[in-house]
Amino acid sequence: MCYFLFPGISSPLHMTISQSLAKIIEIMANNTPHLSLCVTTTDFEKVAKDVLPEKSWVYASSSAATGLSMRSNLDDWSLINFRPRILRRVDRMDTRRSILGHTSQFPFFVSAMGTLGSSHPGAEPLLVRGATRKGMHTMISTASTKPLEEIMDAHREEQRLLNNQSPANLSFQLYVPEDRARAKSLIQRVKAAGYQSLWVTVDTSTLGKRTADRYLQAQENLNADQGGSARDIHNENDFAPAFGGRQVPGSVDAGLTWEDLKWISQEWNGPLVLKGIQSVEDVKLAVQHGVQGILLSNHGGRQIHSAPSSLMTLLEIRKYYPEAFDKLQVFVDGGLRDGADVLKALCLGATAVGVGRPYYYALAAYGAEGVERCTDILAEEVEITMKMLGVTSLDQLRPEMINTSRLENEMWRPAFEKSKL
């Protein structure tokens, strides 16, 4: 089964036979497994750990405090089981999804990830080239290594080479800086560059305590005091909130409130999504403030210690405020590693899901080809699971196709039955 999206259109990075042989020789010389040996998304992590510098590995793999929030992200998906239906015709599949008015080839997208230059010298431009070739949307971080205009140029160049046949587009994840003038200028740059939607990060009034980063930073400082030199990561982006365990002063506005959505919306004048919702009460407020979407996320387990998983928050909405799914689009990220996880979220009402670390690791290990391979793996798993569930399109997914009993046992409940959310 082949998941190359545009048959007959050669990739701009398509290799000749001699180039392919050179690539194979290079992989063998570096003892890096051949790309075809990556058959699950977690396979990229193993390879990336071997090729990444220590500082980059710590940055990508670390989480807040003891890692409890990240473990919940990963583990909660296993608490939901499917309830498959049989003897249904499933010889034709449709995995397309409309995300904020734009078609995506798949019900998943690349989540925002900062400083991708720490993963691969091609950084964000290489990531979006691979994603665009697959027809997949990509969210670009305020903390990107490369200028946001250069990243958009890479996307447009890829589209040109594909005769503009890819449904992929780019959205922008915004850290709102303290300086209002700087915030507005950044939004205007994003708008002028042609990004399709703005995803405002709302869970970073301060950065979480990222323990592994702190240990590494402390050791580097100690080495510097002893005559060594602390390693610096070159960053072209002065809007980035941090690299490592410490926050850049003024990079995120701790005074940001719901009222600020008014000026942000006016400045942007396009689809607006809140990234980092973690309770059903805030979902209600998001609806009241008229945003077009919400991303349920605990920042990959990198912010508050003992955060709810995004899946748990999604279940909360399904239980206490199901009307939300008719009022805005609900997105989920955190801990998804398999196409089956994608469909579990969609059964509960999610529009689409974001995938982060697997793409970081795939880019680190194999560049744009790794991004494409990771997409193929997820796409195949989505289709396999759809067939075995007995559905042929994503709009046929229903809550009754999954058993959430185990996860519901751990779900938050109001202290008093008549309490208002």
Q: Are 378 and 106 in contact (CB under 8 A)?
A: yes
Evaluate if residue 26 carries a pLDDT over 60: no
**Candidate from 246-255, 262-271, 298-307 with smallest mean pLDDT:** 246-255
Residue 245 marked ligand-binding: no
% of the chain at pLDDT higher than 90: 68
- What integer best gives the mean pLDDT of the chain? 87
Q: What is the pLDDT of residue 249?
A: 65
Q: What is the pLDDT of residue 232?
A: 46
Q: What is the pLDDT of residue 21?
A: 37
Q: Tens digits of per-residue pLDDT, 318-353?
A: 999 999 999 999 999 998 999 999 999 999 999 999
Which residues make beta-bridge pairs with 330? 294
Evaluate if residue 400 carries a pLDDT over 90: yes
DSSP-derived secondary structure letter, 56: H
Integer angstrom CA distances of residue 145 from 3, 95, 129, 131, 289: 29, 32, 16, 18, 32
User: Known catalytic residues?
Assistant: 299
CATH fold of the domain at 44-408 = TIM Barrel (3.20.20)
Residue 227 marked ligand-binding: no
Closest-CA residue to 115 (of 253, 240, 212, 210): 240
Q: What is the pLDDT of residue 12?
A: 38
Residue 195 marked ligand-binding: no
Residue 210 marked ligand-binding: yes
Residues 160-174 have a mean pLDDT of 97
Residue 62 pLDDT class (50, 70, 90 cuts): confident
Q: Under DSSP, is residue 143 helix (H, G, I), strand (E, B) or coil?
A: coil
Evaluate if residue 237 carries a pLDDT over 70: no
CB atoms within 10 A of CB 112: 26
Q: What is the pLDDT of residue 33?
A: 94
Residue 129 pLDDT class (50, 70, 90 cuts): very high
Evaluate if residue 152 carries a pLDDT over 50: yes
Residue 201 marked ligand-binding: yes
Residue 336 marked ligand-binding: yes
Please give the Cα distance from 32 to 21 (Å, whole number). 15
**Candidate from 46-50, 177-181, 228-232 with smallest mean pLDDT:** 228-232
Residues 243-252 have a mean pLDDT of 64
This model's pTM is above 0.75: yes
Q: Are 51 and 365 in contact (CB under 8 A)?
A: yes
DSSP-derived secondary structure letter, 272: E
- What are the boundaries of each domain within the chain? 44-408
